Amino acid sequence: MATLDHQLEIRRITAQDGPVLRSIRLAALRTDPDAFGSTYADQASYPASRWQAMAVDAAHGADSCLLLAFRGGQPAGMVRSVRDPRRPRVFGVYSVWVAPAARRAGVGRALLDAIEEWVRTAGGSSLELTVMEDGDAAQALYEASGYRFDGRREREIGARAAELGMSKSLSS
């Protein structure tokens, strides 16, 4: 999708990226297990065919997209967005993750900027996400990217903290 500097590349997943998706997602679940609704144990057991199918599904179309970040050629993060079927101009933002070695280097902000660009091209006008109530670094990233708390409060079964809703309107 875009090369932001000599070391950071953000691009849409391709149909051949099943193994890369598996690697990044499992790294996210291993390093930040409380930040996601899935567990490492569950997803580590997925067969290669499932990862491949997820890559194929996210590689094209205007209803969902998964972007991968690479820093120095190494996987550094990901973000996924999906159109809300009941509100076609609203997109959810999911699976935001940056590898620990790439944090505080602009990767998270670049991923959010890139997914917003994709949402605009897909006809979206706003984004929504949830963040863990005790996720101060993630909250700061989202606020710096223009997201605001919107009053939604959710709690997943087994989660140690509530999830707070944030949203952002995209200007033309």
pTM recorded for the entire structure: 0.91
The CATH number given to whatever domain includes residue 68 is 3.40.630.30
DSSP secondary structure string for all residues of 56-101: HHHSS-SSEEEEEEEETTEEEEEEEEEEETTEEEEEEEEEEEE-GG
Give pLDDT tens digits for 27-60: 999 999 888 888 999 999 999 999 999 999 999 9
* Residues 95-104, mean pLDDT to the nearest whole number: 94
- Owning domain of residue 77: 2-169
Number of domains in the chain: 1
